[in-house]
Amino acid sequence: MEAQYQISYCYHGKMQCEPAYFWGPGIKEQYKLLFIHNGRGEYHFNGRTYNLEKGQGFAVYPEMICFMKADDGDPWFYSWIAFEGRDAETLLENALLDRDNPVFDFSQPAWFDAYLQEFDSACKKKNLHGLALQSTLYRFFADWLDTMMVHRNPVNSSSSKERYVNQSIEYIRMNYYNSVSISEIARIVGIDRVYLSTLFKEKMSVSPQKYLLQFRMNKACELLGNRNLSIADVSRSVGYGDPLLFSKMFKKVTGLSPSHFRERLHA
């Protein structure tokens, strides 16, 4: 990691949460990265709700209200590292994270487990434990940034194009129930929005906007089979806060209103 980064270790840990365990609403004093090893949970931050699971992580920012809650049936087990410093936020920005996009993919739990053990060992050192912790922190971030930035710049090979499209599809699959924008998806996978649209049309024969719309409507069709869900419930479940807009888009895609579609399902 380049020497200009000024960051300091604060603390680290891990926790297997009880069902429905929650923290907050409240604020943290430091920056914090949390890595989900197993289970599911919710992260409420900056006016949005993120439904997260194993293989994902998220950033907590100081002096901003957040709320975390473990799933009732499959509570998450997560670990964390807290840090601070003049360049802490810049470091996260270099990993394509910010206060509007605090969620990232985390596919190597064993890698972070190894660093947790190193942090534990550094804490136990009687002499120079502060230096050992700082050294471990810098190595951790150097490795983590490598994994986060590896796909940042577009490469024109066929395999790279497919990777960007597949990453975008996976992000849609995991976040379609949120207010997802194409610019956000492009930012997450690390390419320009226009380039993402070009790749989708090349590989999927549709624009990313149309793919997202069709994905949401397919999910809506499944949910409409459940009579216990109102149209408004279905609307919210596929990322539409306005049921009228949802009904309009549903009819545009299927040719039927949600109510008529449901009637045909149960005819």
Residue with tokens 């931050």: 45
Q: Which part of the chain is CATH 1.10.10.60?
A: 155-267
Q: How far apart are CA 47 and CA 83, in angstroms?
A: 24
pLDDT at residue 18 tops 90: yes
Name the average pLDDT for the chain: 86
What's residue 149's pLDDT?
A: 60
Q: Which part of the chain is CATH 2.60.120.280?
A: 8-149
Per-residue pLDDT reduced to its tens digit, 88-125: 988 888 787 888 889 888 766 667 778 888 888 888 87
Q: How confident is the model at residue 154 (pLDDT cuts 50, 70, 90)?
A: very low
By three-state DSSP, how is residue 35 classified? Answer: strand
Q: How far apart are CA 54 and CA 114, in angstroms?
A: 18
Per-residue pLDDT reduced to its tens digit, 193-240: 888 888 999 889 999 999 999 999 999 999 999 989 999 999 999 999
Average pLDDT estimate for 7-31: 92
pLDDT at residue 30 tops 90: yes
pTM of the model: 0.55
Q: Say which amino acid occupies 132.
A: A
Q: Which CATH number fits domain 8-149: 2.102.10.10, 2.40.320.10, 2.60.120.280, 1.10.10.10?
A: 2.60.120.280
Report long-range pairs for 169-178 (Cβ below 8 Å, ≥24 apart): 169/211, 172/211, 172/212, 172/215, 173/215, 174/53, 174/56, 175/50, 176/212, 176/215, 176/216, 176/219, 176/238, 176/239, 177/51, 177/236, 177/237, 177/238, 177/239, 178/48, 178/49, 178/50, 178/51, 178/239
CATH number at 155-267: 1.10.10.60
By three-state DSSP, how is residue 106 classified? Answer: coil
Q: How far apart are CA 245 and CA 251, in angstroms?
A: 10
